[in-house]
Chain A
Amino acid sequence: MKIATTRFGELEIEESRIIHMPDGIIGFEEKRFVILNPEKMPFCWFQAVDNPDMAFVVIDPTVFVPEYQVRLTREEYDRLEVRPDREVLVLALVTMAPDPGKITANLQGPIVLNPESMLARQIVLEDGNYGTRHPLFAKGEQRQARVNGTAKNQAMRKVAAQFDSALQSHAAL
């Protein structure tokens, strides 16, 4: 199917790649999304199928915070139709800024996606371990930052490619 997007123009998307969010993203009505990585950048976009203007920059939070974990309740697993021993994908919405030091990720409200059912939900974590404005590129020693930046760049590209292939392989089923 064809979808209109403000930033990426008109795109041809296979229906099997559409992610369904029955509860939407908190504060918004849209229920259908696709993950895009059109320019092979080290992150992806979460584009609303039914609203051309609505697209979020998303990342795999574990690239930045390796110990990051989202604990789902039984009910959340059920609602995403996760089968036993299967994994889900976790995405964090990024709040962009012109200064990379001010770019943050929302680690308190991650999006959890089951690539098998293509169902996703935004989960609100109440445990207080993670906030909504986690800086992605902490200011620190320059050299360290450079090393981290390069590693993160590679890791994020890999993850973006993995999202792509994970979704494609399920689309093929």
Chain B
Amino acid sequence: MLVLTRKIGEAIQIGERVQVKVVDIKGGQVRLGIEAPEETRIYREEIYRKVMRENQLAMNWEMGDVRSLTEHFENQGKE
């Protein structure tokens, strides 16, 4: 991993089109300003990973669970 030291107001340039600037540093938090092409998707890493992990969980399901859910509905409808 490349590690660089930057001060407030300084930036790093990634390739020709992406720039990440340190906007502010306060109480252990760093505010970053990012300039990138419109089509670049930028996410907070933990949120991106959370969605990815849920996608993986969502792919594992049993037809039996779906059937019992459907029956659950059907029975409710009859009562």
Contacts and interface: CB of A to CB of B under 8 A. Distances in A.
Interface of A: 7, 23, 25-28, 41-42, 54-57, 75, 79, 93-98, 100, 103, 106, 108-109, 122, 124, 126, 132-133, 146, 149-150, 152-153
B5 interface: no
Interface residues of B, number: 32
Interface in B35-60: 38-39, 41, 43-44, 47-48, 50-59
B39 A132 contact: no
Contact of B66 (A25, A41, A124): A41
B79 interface: yes
A153 B77 CA distance: 8
B-side binding surface: helix, strand, loop or mixed?
helix
Interface of B: 38-39, 41, 43-44, 47-48, 50-59, 61-66, 68-70, 72-74, 76-77, 79
Q: Is the interface of A mostly helix, strand, loop or mixed?
A: loop
B16 to A, nearest CB: 19
Contacts of A23: 41
B77 A150 contact: yes
A122 B51 CA distance: 10
Contacts of B59: 54-56
A96 B61 contact: yes
A25 B76 CA distance: 34
Given A93-B55, A108-B54, A146-B76, 9 more contacts: A96-B66, A96-B69, A98-B62, A106-B54, A124-B41, A124-B51, A149-B76, A152-B73, A153-B77
